[in-house]
Structure 1
Amino acid sequence: MSPDVHAVDPGRCGVISSQVAPRRELILRAAVQQRLLDPDGALLAGFVDFDAVATRVGSLHSAFPSSSQVLHTFAAKANCLVPVLSELRALGMGCEVASPGELAQALAAGFAPEQIVFDSPAKTRAELRHALDLGVAVNADNFQELDRIGEILKARSTPSASRIGIRINPQVGGGSIAAMSTATATSKFGIALDDQGSQERLVRAYRERPYLNWVHTHVGSQGVSLDLIAQGIAKAVAFADGVNAELGRRQVTGIDIGGGLPVNFTSDETAPGFDDYVAALHEHAPALFTGGYDIVTEFGRAVLAKDGFTAAYVEYTKTSGGRRIAITHAGAQVAARTVFMPDSWPLRIGVHDPSGAHKNSEPVVQDVAGPCCFAGDLVATGRELPLLEPGDIVTLLDTGAYYFSTPFHYNSLPEPAVYGVRVDASGDVHFQVLRPAQTIDQLLARHGH
């Protein structure tokens, strides 16, 4: 057992060691010392390690061949905080958005329109007009949306600068989490490529609309294998090749291959990595890298999940039916996926004393519960962890994406503060407020008072 970390592997309910853990402890201790976490007020907070994010984004850029023209966009849904998006922009990324709110956040973060891709299965006419006026790239989800786009473009006095494409569903199947699988036979997303008559109708759409010059696909993310993702992208490349061959011209010039790299939630290891993803593409879709197509990616979870964590105080502990239970301030409001789908989204839990130091006591089976007023508000059940006591701090690891950045407003619990973190060469920790903690007055205003 490593003396410097206690984080549970959900699959084994054991204790794992980590090289990353000392850095997290350094950050947590500094947060306590600077009273960003405080048992009398700041009971819950999220942290994003910007140094680690920069390294991860660098690995994404270096994984793709330098000979390819690639725009790596960040899926804003994964963490829509404007300062986070601004940081990613500074690291050379674009932004994928799926709502008018996310589009506004991307623009506020400083992304140029040509760096933004607008994906959504339910774009309104007003949203489409706005995107086309700005010059944001648009991926149409269905034939009816294509008709809307055509009507808007016809009414314009000048051409739009937007790159316009069609999202196809390659129908290659699903992974282990149905909700994350977007290329099943009946997926809500895109135009089903293998449905009867679909390919012929798609080719006709490109023929009749010379401004259609992109193809988009996204197979899924967590629970979907790299081979399945690559197979779906291979079908998109083959479709683009077929359109160009059928039309006798290079009309399709770019392929948006989505994102979807799964994240390892069982340890600090990054596996698979972006290089593994690109290797799978080389195996299944080598034509993607021949220089015939520009490429857009849309990674979200893989960029931020492992470089963020949530920290919360333990308020009470008790025993019920022989089971130890720790009541903490981190539950469904910041970990909705884990609470409502614990088998699909298990999280590692770190255990710390009030100073932020890792606790090293003998593991005890216990539940880690949140503050929400329903019985299922548990972030861990039956885990072997060092004994939790009131005033201790728990950390929910790998939560930089889709967790504290997108709170669930159950019980009207205020949104927690979120901090960006950098550590200088001297080991000093510097925090940046990414989102201040919501006050009760702000909460009341949000609810009509």
Structure 2
Amino acid sequence: MTTGWDEERLADIAGRHGTPVHVLDVRRAERSADELLGALGGLGRPGRAYYSVKTNYLPHLCERFAARGLGADVVSGYELRAALRAGFAPGDIVFNGPVKTPEELALAVRNSVRVNIDGEHEIAALERAAAEAGTVAEVGIRLFPGLPVTASDDPAFLAQAERTARRGRFGWPTGSGQLARVLAAVDAARHLSLTAVHAHLGSQIVHPEPLLAALDPVLEEAARLGVREVNIGGGFGVPGILRPRGTDRSPGPGLDPATFLTAVDKRMTELGLGDAVLACEPGRLLVSDAMCLLTRVMSRKELPDARWLILDAGHHIAPWTGTGEVHRFTPLGREFSGDLTPWSLAGPLCYEADVHAPATDLPADLGIGDLLAMHDSGAYSLGRSNNFIRLRAGVVAIDGEREDLVWRAETDEDVFRFAVGVTA
């Protein structure tokens, strides 16, 4: 399978910057943004795309997305401040998340950033902040339908997915008494105006049918409330990674956003939401394959029951890999044997779960010093990385012929800079 990356260039970057190191292809990310905006622009209604900043908060990337016309979805105060610094217009930022401090809510109100309410206590805090600012703050309400958004040939997996969906902790169940109470409180607040509904129903969703079915109660609630914007969240799956669902190891390609958004648009029209904005807030869809992680083989172990390649990139910088999320690996830097063999791939951490793949077919002659590219490292790598045992990796951005280090690798000094009271 072709990856679309210039493998010789990747090997050169690894030689100059060392490994492990992420490589960001800026133009890939921009193409993904343009395709999404084009799909929204082709609908018969206004559309809006908010980039999920938690997916990858790299300033170099956020600045490009802001310049491209995307809005921002943030879930903390520091993400809100980062989005404003990156150039996202305040009116194009939405503040989500289950915990928002009074100070963070006041910051959002002062900057005319809409807050999607996810906790009943937020209503009073928003009312106070808006009254102090002398304004009427636009707010949204987060909903969940209690329906699963996945498909599988494993009944046990589906039963667990249904239980998980019913126990959702984000927002309020559609059609519930709890939701009615919260809506009444918002309506009674003199300085708040409910203008949107919001739902985010999963991650790496690859089957459109259950997602459409789960969104239907959300769209019906939006029609009943007469809101100006319906935000269907993100979670749109990409083809570059695989999350096995029970015994189903081939859940299908990524979700096509243009086709899916067209289907949502049609249903909104049927429900009388003809003029409402259709908004979404993808992250993985925009950045997953725009980054790859370069890593070297540090050790090779051939045991009676396993053949291991130990890499210098582990779960400290690729926290999502393993049996729950399968990524592709490509060998780089030289000619390899055409003889493939199943290798177990692990990271360098002194930690048993630091395994990228229990078995993946790669050249039999891979050895110490050889270079591998781990694909689709753009989502949830930088923000979820840590310095457990090993240091965080840097990011090199390529933009045509241009190449820049846009996030330096961590140092020992960075790790211990927070120590207080150390005298030696």
Q: State which of 133, 138, 157 in structure 2 corresponds to 1:163.
A: 138
Is 1:147 the counterpart of 2:158 in the alignment?
no
2:38 aligned partner: 62
1:441 CA displacement: 1.8
Aligned-partner SS, 2:236? coil
Is 1:323 the counterpart of 2:306 in the alignment?
yes
1:396 aligned partner: 374
1:39 aligned partner: none
Q: State which of 141, 149, 165 in structure 2 corresponds to 1:184.
A: 165
Separation in structure 1 between the aligned mates of residue 274 and residue 262 of structure 2, nearest angstrom:
17
Separation in structure 1 between the aligned mates of residue 142 and residue 316 of structure 2, nearest angstrom:
33
- C-alpha change, 1:157 and 1:368, in structure 2 (3 Å) is closer
Is 1:407 the counterpart of 2:385 in the alignment?
yes
- C-alpha change, 1:333 and 1:127, in structure 2 (3 Å) is same
> Which deviates more from structure 2 when the two are superposed, residues 203-212 or residues 301-310?
203-212
- 8 Å CA contact 1:415, 1:438 repeated in 2: yes
1:438 CA displacement: 1.3
TM-score, normalisation: structure 1: 0.82
Separation in structure 2 between the aligned mates of residue 180 and residue 78 of structure 1, nearest angstrom:
23
- Aligned-partner residue type, residue 171 of structure 2: G
- C-alpha change, 1:181 and 1:80, in structure 2 (3 Å) is farther
- 8 Å CA contact 1:256, 1:297 repeated in 2: yes
- C-alpha change, 1:443 and 1:432, in structure 2 (3 Å) is same
1:93 CA displacement: 0.8
- 8 Å CA contact 2:197, 2:229 repeated in 1: yes
Aligned-partner SS, 1:338? coil
- 8 Å CA contact 1:175, 1:181 repeated in 2: no
2:22 aligned partner: 46
- Aligned-partner residue type, residue 166 of structure 1: I
Aligned-partner SS, 2:281? strand
Separation in structure 1 between the aligned mates of residue 229 and residue 305 of structure 2, nearest angstrom:
60
Is 1:439 the counterpart of 2:411 in the alignment?
yes
Alignment of 1:117-266 (within 5 A): 117-154=94-131, 156-160=132-136, 162-175=137-150, 184-195=165-176, 197-209=177-189, 211-223=193-205, 225-244=207-226, 252-266=227-241
1:153 CA displacement: 2.5
Alignment of 1:72-83 (within 5 A): 72-83=49-60
- Aligned-partner residue type, residue 130 of structure 2: L
Separation in structure 2 between the aligned mates of residue 190 and residue 309 of structure 1, nearest angstrom:
34
Aligned-partner SS, 1:299? coil
> Where does the alignment leave 5 or more consecutive residues of structure 2 unmatched?
152-156, 243-251
1:225 CA displacement: 2.8
- 8 Å CA contact 2:206, 2:253 repeated in 1: no
1:280 aligned partner: 263
What is the count of residue pairs matched by the alignment?
402
- 8 Å CA contact 2:206, 2:254 repeated in 1: no
Q: State which of 350, 353, 361 in structure 1 corresponds to 2:330.
A: 350
Separation in structure 2 between the aligned mates of residue 182 and residue 111 of structure 1, nearest angstrom:
38
Task: List per-residue Cα deviations over 1:232-271 (Å, max 9, x = no partner).
Answer: 3332221122123xxxxxxx2222221121122359x973
- C-alpha change, 1:143 and 1:224, in structure 2 (3 Å) is farther
Task: List per-residue Cα deviations over 1:173-216 (Å, max 9, x = no partner).
Answer: 35369999998221110012243x23533553454246122111
2:154 aligned partner: none
- 8 Å CA contact 1:44, 1:330 repeated in 2: yes
Separation in structure 1 between the aligned mates of residue 112 and residue 146 of structure 2, nearest angstrom:
30
1:297 CA displacement: 1.5
Separation in structure 1 between the aligned mates of residue 34 and residue 225 of structure 2, nearest angstrom:
34
1:138 CA displacement: 0.5
- 8 Å CA contact 2:150, 2:211 repeated in 1: no
TM-score, normalisation: structure 2: 0.87
- C-alpha change, 1:440 and 1:199, in structure 2 (3 Å) is closer
- 8 Å CA contact 2:150, 2:207 repeated in 1: yes
- C-alpha change, 1:401 and 1:358, in structure 2 (3 Å) is farther
Separation in structure 1 between the aligned mates of residue 415 and residue 12 of structure 2, nearest angstrom:
28
Separation in structure 2 between the aligned mates of residue 401 and residue 430 of structure 1, nearest angstrom:
23
Is 1:307 the counterpart of 2:290 in the alignment?
yes
Aligned-partner SS, 1:389? coil
- Aligned-partner residue type, residue 337 of structure 1: W
- 8 Å CA contact 1:229, 1:260 repeated in 2: no
Alignment of 1:357-396 (within 5 A): 357=334, 359-387=336-364, 388-396=366-374
Task: List per-residue Cα deviations over 1:343-384 (Å, max 9, x = no partner).
Answer: x211111122xxx34634311221111011112211111222
Task: List per-residue Cα deviations over 1:50-96 (Å, max 9, x = no partner).
Answer: 11111111110111235422221110111011111111111111111
- Aligned-partner residue type, residue 327 of structure 1: I
1:300 CA displacement: 0.4
Aligned-partner SS, 2:385? coil
Separation in structure 2 between the aligned mates of residue 379 and residue 52 of structure 1, nearest angstrom:
25
Separation in structure 1 between the aligned mates of residue 269 and residue 163 of structure 2, nearest angstrom:
23
- 8 Å CA contact 1:54, 1:91 repeated in 2: yes
> Which deviates more from structure 2 when the two are superposed, residues 438-447 or residues 57-66?
438-447
1:127 CA displacement: 1.1
2:13 aligned partner: 31
Aligned-partner SS, 2:372? strand
Separation in structure 2 between the aligned mates of residue 350 and residue 181 of structure 1, nearest angstrom:
36
Query: Percent same amino acid at aligned positions?
Result: 24
- Superposed CA RMSD: 2.7
